[in-house]
A and B are shown apart, each in its own frame.
Chain A
Amino acid sequence: MIFSTLEHILTHISFSVVSIVITIHLITLLVDEFVELYDSSEKGMITTFFCITGLLVIRWIFLGHLPLSDLYESLIFLSWAFSIIHMVPYFKKHKNFLSAITAPSTFFTQGFATSGLLTDMHQSEILVPALQSQWLMMHVSMMILGYAALLCGSLFSVAFLVITFRKIIRIVDKSNNLLNDSFFFSEIQYMAERKNVLRNISFLSSRNYYRFQLIQQLDDWGCRIISIGFIFLTIGILSGAVWANEAWGSYWNWDPKETWAFITWTIFAIFFHIRTNKKLEGFNSAIVASIGFLLIWICYFGVNLLGIGLHSYGSFTLTISI
Chain B
Amino acid sequence: MAFAPSGPEASFFEVLDQHRASLLATLRRGGGEPAGGGTRLASSSEVLASIENIIQDVITSLARNEAPAFTIDNRSSWENIKFEDSVGLHMISHCTTRKIKSDSPKSVKNFALILKILSTIYKLVQSNTYATKRDIYYTDSQLFGNQTVVDNIINDISCMLKVPRRSLHILSTSKGLIAGNLRYIEEDGTKVNCTCATAVPVSSNIQGIRNLITDAKFLLIVEKDATFQRLLDDNFCNKMSPCIMVTGKGVPDLNTRLLVKKLWDTFHIPVFSLVDADPHGIEIMCIYKYGSMAMSFEAHNLTVPAIRWLGLLPSDIKRLNIPKSTLIPMTKRDQMKLDSILKRPYVTCQPFWRKEMEIMGDSKMKAEIQALTFLSSDYLSRVYLPNKLKFGGWI
A and B together in one complex:
no
